[in-house]
Amino acid sequence: MKPVQMMPQALPKRPTQATNKYKARNGFVSTLDGVDVDVRTNATGGTFVAPDGHGEVDERLRNYGTVLARWSLEDKAMLAKRWDVSMSYVNAACRIVANAMYEQVFSDDASTDTVNVKALISSINAPETALTPELLLRVQALYGTKAYGEVVSAVTNPIIVDALDTMSTQCEWFLNYRLAALNGLHSSNSYSRRKARATYKDLVMDLKRTADRSVSRARREQHEKERAKAQAMKQGTNQPPRNSLYSTGKNVREIFTGSEGWQRAFVHKPELVIPHTGKMGRRNIFTQEGKFPKHFYRMVTDPERRIFTRKTRALGGVVIVDCSGSMSLSEDDVRAIMRSSAGCTIVCYSASGSSDDALNGNIHLIARNGRQARYLPDFPGGNGVDAPALEFALTYKRSGSPIVWVSDEKVTGIGDAYSQELHRQCRKLVDKHDIHVVPNPRQAVRLLKRLQAGRRK
């Protein structure tokens, strides 16, 4: 049976397209990267690239091109410019969606015989390969295919592994909870189309944030290696100088807490540029005065006839989040805690005991006075500074405001080793300052909601 040729007339038409014409740029295409579709809304129509042969691989690539045409954004270059991102991010987002839809429609894996996994892995693991956003997106564009799992399992660079793991979590959440909104791309309703584009934008910006953080981290590590090597050569030795371990980075300072047995504590205070819009301690109360009456039924049920409402001020307080590996917190978990804690000072901590702590900090002040950091830091996975983090966070305590510690209390010190003495120091701080301790993010959010409602127990 001959495969059906992918002709321009077979491609779907959008409500906003002036024409359904596509200019075919057929040629020898044998890989998934070679398939490309450019959806345009002007009268000249778009273009597509797909093979015109009769083999099984050619048919798979043509089918993939049809799916890509249906779920790609219109005028991607214009949207990339509007969102201030490169085309690589937009193309990667469109391919992630197309991979999922292709599997649903054809019950097939688009990467079968269409991706050269060995060449891609060899290119990524080459020692001289510099980490770039394009390199990460080249791999992430395969998400949802078997080839993606093969590449990720073979990558040796830990920074790339962490970045791809974070991107995978973002994509999984997007495909599970936001994919339905993309049906608006084909809707005649302008609001649905705008919502679909905004949904795509969320995925693009999530990928960009993760890629930017990973590239910055790789550059910092490379810079530190070069600086240590230069200093070692200057001193006539192959070992870095002792004090190079504790040369602090930007917005990072070492603190003295008076606690022994812990790793050295370095506080990182990033710029707090985003409004912190949580809800802890804010609730509606009924009043006799206001602008807009809402609760007329209280004219009968309330002797004081309080038919207006106003929001109370936030309680404030302090939330300390243990971001060690034993907690297994995701970035979404930390953000859920932040959304539940308006007006709070939020401190996250996780230590590694390496020079990264001095450069990037192991205690991070990520929210204060109604503002929060744009990005969450990369957490190495160790504890190390539990008591120093508590002592630092207590400096922001206000009278009458709650203090919440999100931790499993598996505290460790130097060498990431546990001891009863270190645990006793933390329990002493908890008892002395009446700190609420919760073991996981779900219970933390539940506690913060109770505090919001004015219930302390």
End-to-end CA distance of the chain: 71
Are both 79 and 180 inside the same structural domain? yes
Are both 33 and 133 inside the same structural domain? yes
In a domain, 63, yes or no: yes
Query: In this predicted structure, what is the pLDDT of residue 244?
Result: 39
Query: In this predicted structure, what is the pLDDT of residue 431?
Result: 92
- Judge whether 166 and 140 are in contact, CB under 8 Å: no
Are both 143 and 122 inside the same structural domain? yes
Are both 288 and 204 inside the same structural domain? no
What single letter denotes the amino acid at residue 225?
K
In a domain, 300, yes or no: yes
- Judge whether 406 and 444 are in contact, CB under 8 Å: yes
In a domain, 202, yes or no: yes
Are both 261 and 161 inside the same structural domain? no
Are both 210 and 257 inside the same structural domain? no
Per residue in 102-141, pLDDT (tens digit) is 998 888 898 998 998 888 898 888 877 888 889 999 999 9
Query: In this predicted structure, what is the pLDDT of residue 2?
Result: 37
Are both 183 and 260 inside the same structural domain? no
Query: In this predicted structure, what is the pLDDT of residue 25?
Result: 67
Q: What is the mean pLDDT of the chain?
A: 82
Are both 417 and 290 inside the same structural domain? no
User: Residue 297 CB: number of other CB atoms within 10 A?
Assistant: 9
Per residue in 348-369, pLDDT (tens digit) is 999 987 777 888 889 999 888 7
The first and second tokens of residue 167, run together, are 């991107």
The first and second tokens of residue 163, run together, are 């970045």
Are both 18 and 135 inside the same structural domain? yes
What does pTM read for this prediction?
A: 0.53
In a domain, 457, yes or no: no
Name the phi and psi angles at 334, rounded to 5. Answer: -65, -40
Are both 33 and 167 inside the same structural domain? yes
Looking only at the bridges linking them, the beta strands covering 284-287 and 272-275 are: unpaired
Are both 143 and 14 inside the same structural domain? yes
User: What's the total number of domains in the chain?
Assistant: 3
Residue 431: give the domain boundaries: 247-279+315-452
Per residue in 364-397, pLDDT (tens digit) is 998 887 778 888 888 888 888 999 999 999 888 8
- DSSP at 15: T
The first and second tokens of residue 101, run together, are 């839809």
Q: Which of 184, 219, 240 is the last residue of a domain?
A: 240
Angle, in degrees to the nearest 10, between helices 133-140 and 146-154: 140
In a domain, 381, yes or no: yes
Are both 266 and 216 inside the same structural domain? no
Percent of the chain predicted with pLDDT > 90:
19
